[in-house]
Structure 1
Amino acid sequence: MTEQETRRMRRTRFEGLAQVVVEPLHRYLLRRASTETAEDVLSETLLVLWRRIDDVPGLGDGSASPPDPDDVLPWCYGVARGCLANARRADGRRLRLVERLIRTQQRAPEEAAEHGELHAALASLGAADREVVRLWAWEGLAPRQIAEATGSTPNAVSIRLHRAKARLAAQLGRKNGGRPGHKSDEGRSGQ
């Protein structure tokens, strides 16, 4: 069988399956979600059915009449149920992100006032340097982890981080090389 015949047979099987399951799946989803969500999830469900057409139990080879709904619908309901659960999780994540962004924006003026000098120094860095510094300082990542996150090499990240920290220190007036917040004679005897 040629590749074109295989594709044609696959399409015929899917069309036969879709003909049988679209309406029942749509009704199933409408009873569980809003119209927009139901339609989105139905599209996602059909995409999964297309990808997994060979896994659908009771489908047959598609050369005969459409499949028996009693054979294919239970499995398709399971796929739709999983797609609906994924959509609900995604909506929850989106909602939590929006809430977090709102809280961050509400706090931003206070933090900007407290750390205006730091934010200005960070803004003066290039985008790549700024991202490396933020991943290191705010997320607590090591250069190896930053390299993985940014698609760079650990060595390049280490160099970029070292140079960016030096530029920040210079801009923030810490050119003496001492550790910020520590007296230079701290820990020494008075002799």
Structure 2
Amino acid sequence: MTEEERRRGRQARFEGLAHVVAEPLHRYLLRRTSPDLVDDVLSDTMLVLWRRLDDVPGLGTGPAPDPDDVLPWCYGVARACLANAHRADGRRLRLLERLVRTQRGPSATVTDHSDLHAALDRLGQLDREVVRLWAWEGLAPRQIALATGLTSNAVSLRLHRVKRKLAKQLGPTRKSTDPAGHKQMKEGAVGE
């Protein structure tokens, strides 16, 4: 048997299977999900059946299989495809909810960072991108270099210069003049 004959035989077997199972699978899916999802899940099911044609129990070499032999396994495939579609819908809904939450205005507990954003806006486009990749995305200079096309050394120098410039523009932000990590002790507090 040539490759072309095998391909034609496989196609004929699939067409015979599809002819027998398409309508029962469509009804099966209509009873289990929304009408707008049925055609997509049925398409996914038929794709799996095509890919796993040799695994379908009861599917002989003839063009017309017995529905009682092939349908139970095909229902199992449809059930799995439907579960995948429901999981995907759940992920889409969760993503949409997160996007809606982030698009709402800032809540009362969010700190106002308008001075920081104004200072960032005064930077050049590349400097602003370097700072954002470092501060917001948590990238190291070598990773920023890959993202921007600069060298690691150029990123480090640019980042140092921009941080110094931002610190100057924003002024002192510490509420205390104590060195970081140090507390002032009251007189006479030693040994108490």
User: Same fold judged by TM-score > 0.5?
Assistant: yes
**Corresponding residue for 2:137?**
135
**Corresponding residue for 1:54?**
54
Greater C-alpha Rg: 2
Q: Secondary structure at the match of 1:66?
A: coil
Instruction: Flag the 1:9–1:184 CA change in 2: closer, same or farther, 3 A.
Output: farther
1:19, distance to aligned residue in structure 2 (A): 0.4
Runs (4+) of structure 1 exceeding 6 A deviation are 109-113, 156-161
CA RMSD across the alignment: 3.9
Whichever structure has more helix as a proportion of its residues is: 1
1:31 aligns with 2:21: no
Q: Percent identity?
A: 51
Which consecutive unaligned segments of at least 5 residues does structure 2 have? 185-192
**Corresponding residue for 1:75?**
73
Instruction: Flag the 1:84–1:160 CA change in 2: closer, same or farther, 3 A.
Output: farther
Q: Secondary structure at the match of 1:44?
A: helix
Tell me the distance in 1 between the aligned counterparts of 2:129 and 2:17.
Answer: 49
For residue 166 of structure 1, the aligned residue among 160, 170, 173 is 160
**Corresponding residue for 2:189?**
none
Once the two structures are overlaid, the 10-residue window that deviates more, 2-11 or 93-102, is 2-11
Which consecutive unaligned segments of at least 5 residues does structure 1 have? 137-141
CA contact (8 A) 1:133 1:161 kept: no
Describe the superposition over 1:76-100 as per-residue Cα deviations: whole angstroms up to 9, x where unpaired.
1011111111111111111111111
CA contact (8 A) 1:42 1:80 kept: yes
CA contact (8 A) 1:21 1:69 kept: yes
Instruction: Flag the 1:78–1:172 CA change in 2: closer, same or farther, 3 A.
Output: same
Describe the superposition over 1:45-76 as per-residue Cα deviations: whole angstroms up to 9, x where unpaired.
11111111111111122xx2411111111111
TM-score, normalization by structure 1: 0.69
Tell me the distance in 2 between the aligned counterparts of 1:102 and 1:132.
Answer: 26
Q: Secondary structure at the match of 2:137?
A: helix
Instruction: Flag the 1:58–1:101 CA change in 2: closer, same or farther, 3 A.
Output: same
Which residue identity lines up with residue 136 of structure 2 in the other structure? R
**Corresponding residue for 1:85?**
83
> Which residues of 2 match residues 1-191 of structure 1 at below 5 A?
1-61=1-61, 64-108=62-106, 114-119=112-117, 121=120, 125-126=125-126, 129=130, 130-131=132-133, 133-136=135-138, 162=156, 165-166=159-160, 168-173=162-167, 181=174, 185-186=179-180, 187=182
